[in-house]
A and B are shown apart, each in its own frame.
Chain A
Amino acid sequence: MTIKTMAEYAAGGESPEVLFWVGCAGSFDQRAQKITKAFATILEKAGIRFAILGKEESCTGDPARRAGNEFIFQMMAQNNIQVLNGYGVKKIVTACPHCFNIMRNEYPELGGHYEVIHHTTFLQQLIDEGKIRLLEGGSFKGKKITYHDSCYLGRANNIYEAPRKVLEALDAELVEMKRCRSNGLCCGAGGAQMFKEEEKGTTRVNFERGREAVDTGASVIAANCPFCMTMLTDGVKEAGKEESVQVLDIAEIIARQLGD
């Protein structure tokens, strides 16, 4: 798979349909890189002309802003907006709900106006438009899948249905956790918690959520966020179920089911 950058498109005097904003986790975290590759594979199979920013991409500033450091956020955001506007980017898809939220809701007032789509919504569109076809049966047939609502897609942006619709396209049984949709329990990573030790408590948030996910009896926990991915994977491990329960991003699930 060769993935073109915006710079390469621009050099050829062309522009892609959509920019795939990879995000820091998707770029550097080994586990999240698999999600990135899975989503890029789907885009390629669906025949979408997409580009990445490559080395020109920077952190959106989300963890800095939520931790309270507005200066770092503004530096990142204004730099990113300059780069994006420089390429005339109109449409962005990202596999990270934190990047999605900040570019959708916080970049416009800084001069960055784009149509920003989370990859689960994008996948739903691809399925609906018939641009990707899923295998009949396949590795998820008859399996129980439970879906974890990330806070930044769910409550923060009111997107609950698109990821579920994607999962419903599989031949699997979708089961809900006790706390789901707008009642969904956080994984514990948001608000820059990902980058620090948790405060003193009786347990960790991801242990609580991991336990709840495992209790559904599902063999797959579907996530839509690289940080939830890390947190839930540890939560499942804590519950002693890492052998029998997989945590997968929705893009990875779909990539495994791609027909020709």
Chain B
Amino acid sequence: MHIVQQLLFVIAFAAAVYLFARKAGEIRRNILLGRDFTPYGTPAERWRNVLLLAFGQQKMFRKPLVAVLHFFVYAGFIIINLEILEIILDGVLGTHRLFTPLLGVLYPVLIGCFEVLAVLVILGCAIFLIRRNILKLKRFMGRDLDGWPRSDANYILITEIVLMLLFLTMNTADQVLQTRGADHYMATGNFWISGLLTPLVDGFSTGGLVALERTCWWLHILGVLAFLNYLPYSKHLHIVLAFPNTYYTDVRPWGKMENMPAVQKEVQLMLQPELAASEPPSDTVPKFGAKDIPDLTWKNLLDAYSCTECGRCTAACPANITGKKLSPRKIMMDTRDRAEEIGNNIKKNGSFQDDGKALLRDYISEEELRACTSCNACVQECPVAINPLHIILQLRRHLVMEESSAPAEWNMMFSNIENNMAPWKFSPDDRDKWALEN
């Protein structure tokens, strides 16, 4: 009987890992659809961001109360992974609580800590559910989240609560079985939380308790493996990608816009034609700005997959606050959706077959792009260092330089700068007139 269970466990575990790895590979491929660029900053500067933003969750603490709750869930999930390790080893080896003899008196302390964290995770997730579904916080009610994204958030929170309840129930049954001296249930000492819950199941027969403990054990680990495979389809992927994303984020001042060396070179040759003679002729026509996924950098796409749709960006966006269509969160969600669409196209056809669609217009409208004030509030707010502004500005470059699509006032401004060296129609000769007046 034992060997059958072990076998089933190994199969379930291997299948979960295989499926996850396969989907992770697809996401990696989708991210690498983006153009290459060299991330700016020394490794030391970038590790600093990983430590502060990803591990330390520095920006979450701009809203301290939520930050503490989120920290419980985060710490809970990371630390409880140690327990998952024991569960997996038990599953493979057919043992029960393998670490008990190794850790001795420390074992119940460790499990006690996990249990406290489990309770905090339940508490955090319950409050998060209330904030989303009962208090209906504005940033969770945005149109961007209609449909699947809103359900996604609830599924994640409910799953986490269920997994933690299974873990606690399993331990509670185990504690009672230990006191009854049941086979295989060696004494571990008292667990802090489940030790208090034993009266709830005291009335169960020993057989019933074993069934309860085994059922919870299986549901818990199968739930964890299923959740692992849910991640790549969900906004919850941020628990993995927050780390690389903060590592690759640009460390320079946010006011800096990306240079376009192709345009720089062209203008240089125009201003200094004597340089042109020594210039090797180029037969590639450069592309200006971004229209679709491959025109963006892979960091833009990593950003999109790292987004957990919390909406802090949109809540801080001056355009969104004043009722414009622009929502930085939607920019990120659209980018991910389009990257997935292209990825599925590649998967189906072997290579990308033109689907007549693009990120620009089919997902993100000109009206949205035109509303941006480049104020960097979205960049400032993002807890995992996503930069929606970089995508917006690249799409704007495409509109203006590839399609000559700009509002009439902007075209006027361009020609004023070109002809009068100022965005308004003033004579350059009057530039220092103010100095003559008193």
Contacts and interface: CB of A to CB of B under 8 A. Distances in A.
A55 to B, nearest CB: 5
B409 A196 contact: yes
Contact of A200 (B256, B271, B324, B435): B324
Contacts of B326: 199
Contact of B264 (A52, A74, A192, A209): A74
Nearest to B402: A68
Contact of A201 (B264, B323, B429): B323
A1 interface: yes
B211 interface: no
A33 B259 CA distance: 31
Q: Chain A binding site: helix, strand, loop or mixed by DSSP?
A: helix
30 contacts: A24-B423, A24-B424, A27-B431, A52-B432, A54-B432, A54-B435, A55-B429, A61-B417, A67-B396, A67-B410, A70-B401, A72-B417, A72-B418, A101-B255, A101-B256, A106-B256, A155-B254, A155-B377, A185-B321, A186-B375, A188-B322, A191-B372, A196-B407, A196-B413, A200-B324, A201-B319, A203-B323, A204-B322, A205-B318, A209-B318
Given A27-B434, A68-B401, A155-B377, A199 B325 contact: yes
A246 interface: no
Nearest to B399: A68
B146 interface: no
A244 interface: no
A101 B376 CA distance: 13
Interface of A: 1, 3, 5, 22, 24, 26-29, 33, 36-37, 40, 52, 54-55, 57-59, 61, 63-72, 74-76, 78-79, 82, 101-102, 104-106, 109-110, 151-152, 155-158, 182-183, 185-186, 188-205, 207-209
A20 B117 CA distance: 59
Interface of B: 62, 252-257, 259-260, 263-264, 266-268, 270-271, 288-289, 316, 318-319, 321-326, 367, 370-377, 379-380, 393, 396-401, 406-407, 409-410, 412-414, 417-418, 421-424, 426, 428-435, 437-438
A118 to B, nearest CB: 11
Nearest to A159: B253
Contacts of B270: 75
Given A59-B422, A203-B322, 11 more contacts: A27-B430, A54-B432, A66-B257, A66-B396, A104-B255, A106-B256, A155-B380, A156-B376, A199-B324, A200-B323, A200-B324
